[in-house]
Amino acid sequence: MADRPVNNHKGIAKFLTYKGRISRKQFMIYHLYAFVVCITLLNLFLLAFPAWKLEVLKGAVGLFCLISLFFWARRAHDLGWDARFIPVLAAANLVVYVLESQGILSGSAHVVIGQGLQFLTGGLFMYLLMQPGHVGANAFGEDPVEEEREDQNRKLEEFREFK
């Protein structure tokens, strides 16, 4: 077992980091984990502060979006992209949201800017979800699919030795 690769990421640190790469499968599973955490926190806050329904909902959505940035960056790294554009895209969405909520962005500007940015963000999410990652190591780390495969083979060998 001395030749086994060392995993330095533990617990939440593995989940919330911009460094490295994640596969399409991990991308979806991590989003599911984040969704469950945010829904749980939403329900806990609604139990504690029932009058704050809209504020708590906005906070849960905001937390989910913030956590998702980590996954988007790592998925972009899997495709070989520098992920600096992802916080810029998130900031642009936030600015548009604030402008729309204040009534500043409305009418045709809302359609062109607000919905156009949402379409771009949704399209990028679908691309990150469906596009296979770079095969083999790249500048951002080892291939996560290959690492998963090696980990499964290692567990299978340990199971066979156990029998």
Q: What is the pLDDT of residues 54-85, one digit of tens each?
A: 888 888 888 898 899 999 999 999 999 999 99
Neighbours of 158 (CB within 10 A): 10
pLDDT level of residue 9 (50, 70, 90 thresholds): low
What is the structure's pLDDT at 105? Answer: 77
**H helix intervals, 16-115:** 24-48, 53-78, 85-101, 108-109
pLDDT level of residue 1 (50, 70, 90 thresholds): very low
What is the structure's pLDDT at 73? Answer: 94
Summarize the confidence of residues 40-45 as an average pLDDT: 90
CA distance 61 to 88: 18
pTM of the complete model beyond 0.85: no
Query: In whole angstroms, how far apart are CA 134 and each of 6, 29, 108, 159?
Result: 22, 19, 40, 31
